[in-house]
């Protein structure tokens, strides 16, 4: 018998000074049985950092990611169905990234964990021709700290200013310093 996903509810209050965005979002996340709290929280924060200010070009949505190899972790389609933004969490292979770059207007990767450096060394040269791709690294200790905020029901505040991200639940606050790997 296959294991079922665990459902999490998150209330996000986003104040992103860098993008001029203030918004509240109520999200339901299905955590795949093989997904860790750390990965789920990185996925949730990826939503907060990429959600558009309006829905004129479609909504940012959680996709099937781990459950479906043809889908990213998050994506945004415009009203015609065209793929506007493809967002991956983790360390996808270069073929997957180049395929996504051919399908979407924009591709973002949020790489986290201790294996980022060897992964990046292996794919960097092969993805250089993708002009619509951006790759960000989140330091391991910071992404692990995010996992401590995971609850089945969460109320989180996300603040972004000068590239620094703060995530808090009213008791604990995590500071993240994402680093752009590509384009350099």
Report if residue 176 sits inside a domain.
yes
According to the model, what pLDDT value does residue 31 have? 92
| Beta carbons of 87 and 100 less than 8 angstroms apart | no
CATH of residue 117: 3.10.640.10
CA 175 to chain centre: 16
Q: What is the CA radius of gyration of the chain?
A: 16
Report if residue 16 sits inside a domain.
yes
pLDDT tens track of the chain, all 184 residues?
Answer: 567 889 999 999 999 999 999 999 999 999 988 899 999 999 999 999 999 998 888 999 998 766 667 899 999 999 999 999 999 999 999 999 999 999 999 999 999 999 999 999 999 999 999 999 999 999 999 999 999 999 999 999 999 999 999 999 999 999 999 999 999 7
As for how many domains the chain has, the answer is 1
- Among the listed residues 36, 142, 47, the one whose alpha carbon sits nearest the alpha carbon of residue 88: 47
According to the model, what pLDDT value does residue 69 have? 72
Distances (CA, A) of 9 to 28, 30, 40, 90, 165: 5, 9, 12, 22, 21
Report if residue 100 sits inside a domain.
yes
Q: Read out DSSP for the chain?
A: -PPPPEEEEEEEEEEETTTTEEEEEEEEEEE-TT--HHHHHHHHHHHHHH--SSSTT--EEE--GGG-TTS-SEEEE-TTS-EEEEEEES---HHHHHHHHHH-SEEEEEEESTTHHHHHHHHHHHHTT-TTEEEEEE-HHHHHHHHTT--SEEEEEEEEETTEEEEE-SS-EEEE--EEEE--
The parent domain of residue 149 ranges over 6-182
Distance CA 44, CA 156 (A): 10
Residues 6+ apart with CB under 8 A from 118: none
CB atoms within 10 A of CB 156: 22
Report if residue 1 sits inside a domain.
no
Report if residue 143 sits inside a domain.
yes
């Amino acid at each position: 018998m296959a294991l079922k996903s665990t459902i999490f509810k998150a209330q996000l209050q986003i104040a992103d000074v860098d993008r001029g965005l203030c918004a509240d979002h109520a999200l339901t996340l299905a955590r795949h049985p093989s997904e860790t709290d750390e990965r789920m929280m990185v996925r949730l924060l990826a939503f907060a950092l990429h959600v558009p200010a309006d829905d004129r070009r479609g909504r940012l949505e959680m996709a099937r990611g781990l459950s479906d190899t043809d889908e990213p972790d998050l994506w945004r389609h415009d009203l015609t169905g065209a793929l506007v933004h493809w967002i991956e969490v983790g360390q996808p292979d270069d073929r997957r990234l180049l395929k996504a770059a051919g399908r979407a207007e924009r591709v973002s990767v949020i790489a986290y964990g201790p294996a980022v450096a060897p992964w990046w060394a292996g794919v960097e040269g092969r993805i250089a021709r993708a002009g619509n791709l951006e790759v960000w690294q989140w330091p391991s200790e910071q992404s692990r700290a995010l996992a401590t905020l995971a609850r089945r029901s969460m109320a989180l505040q996300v603040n972004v200013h000068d590239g620094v991200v703060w995530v808090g639940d009213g008791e604990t606050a995590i500071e993240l310093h994402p680093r752009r790997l590509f384009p350099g």
